[in-house]
């Protein structure tokens, strides 16, 4: 997929990648979101003592990428964090259902899938719901991210996944919440992660969220600014 021998060369190569992600109703695929996420991950890590050269990135399956840094191999698995019903609602809204301005809905990790008819009724009703209070926004975000982390670990422990010297999990965060304070939410996520065994499988977990790349590791959580090469 790409090769680079220095920070400047990597940034140049990344800037040439088409990272456009079509709307859900207009042919968005897993490849679109994977390219967007991996390009933002690498661009944010330039100069952060996480990558070395020569660098080679290969797109593949199970895991989604193989990143070679000098002689070190890192498997990178990607997933999108989005409520399945909200993703379906987005498609239905893009097809003309419901008002142009609408309330953000409450969603729960692992919620059952709803039929299109039920979702259209919810879109048209556009009820505001109970809202969020205190730190419930931040706790909901942490719970949602941890759900997708656990879900991915469970999937990968099945047959067919190739583990490497080191493995990272990359999450593209599309969980809708109002006025999320990601720095305030980070300790809630760190508690969930450290009380589990997910870091036994993944050395680092990266989450592309808002204008940040959030890094979760055994040493704690760090935030890096998104390095937007494509504007």
Worst-scoring range by mean pLDDT, 15-19, 55-59, 103-107, 177-181? 103-107
Looking at the chain, the whole-number percentage of residues with pLDDT higher than 70 is 100
If we measure between CA atoms, which residue out of 127, 120, 117, 119 comes closest to residue 83? 119
Q: How confident is the model over 167-195, as pLDDT tens digits?
A: 999 999 999 899 999 999 999 999 999 99
* Rounded-to-integer distance, Cα 52 and Cα 69, Å: 5
The reported pLDDT for the residue numbered 206 is: 98
What's the rounded Cα separation, in Å, for the pair 61 and 126?
39
> Model pTM greater than 0.85?
yes
Tokens 């009724």 — which residue?
A: 121
Residue 158's pLDDT is 82
Checking DSSP bridges between strand 204-209 and strand 212-217, what pairing results, if any? antiparallel
């Amino acid at each position: 997929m790409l090769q680079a021998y220095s920070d400047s060369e990597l940034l140049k190569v990344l800037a040439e990648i088409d990272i456009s992600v079509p709307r859900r109703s207009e042919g968005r695929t897993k490849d679109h979101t994977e390219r967007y996420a991996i390009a933002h991950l690498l661009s944010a890590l330039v100069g952060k003592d996480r990558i070395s050269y020569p660098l080679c990135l290969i797109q593949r399956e199970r895991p989604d990428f193989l990143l070679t840094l000098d002689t070190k191999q890192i498997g990178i698995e990607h997933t999108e964090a989005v409520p399945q019903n909200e993703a379906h609602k987005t498609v239905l809204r893009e097809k003309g259902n419901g008002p142009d301005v609408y309330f953000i809905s409450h969603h729960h990790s692992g919620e059952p899938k709803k039929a299109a008819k039920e979702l259209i009724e919810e879109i048209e009703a556009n009820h505001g719901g109970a809202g969020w209070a205190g730190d419930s926004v931040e706790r909901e975000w942490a719970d949602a991210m941890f759900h997708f982390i656990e879900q991915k670990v469970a999937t990968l422990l099945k047959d067919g996944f190739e583990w490497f010297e080191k493995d990272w999990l990359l999450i593209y965060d599309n969980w809708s919440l109002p006025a999320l304070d990601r720095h305030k939410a980070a300790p809630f996520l760190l508690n969930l992660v450290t009380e589990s065994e997910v870091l036994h499988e993944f050395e680092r977990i990266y989450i592309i969220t808002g204008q940040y790349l959030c890094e979760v590791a055994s040493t704690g959580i760090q935030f890096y600014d998104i390095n937007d090469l494509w504007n």
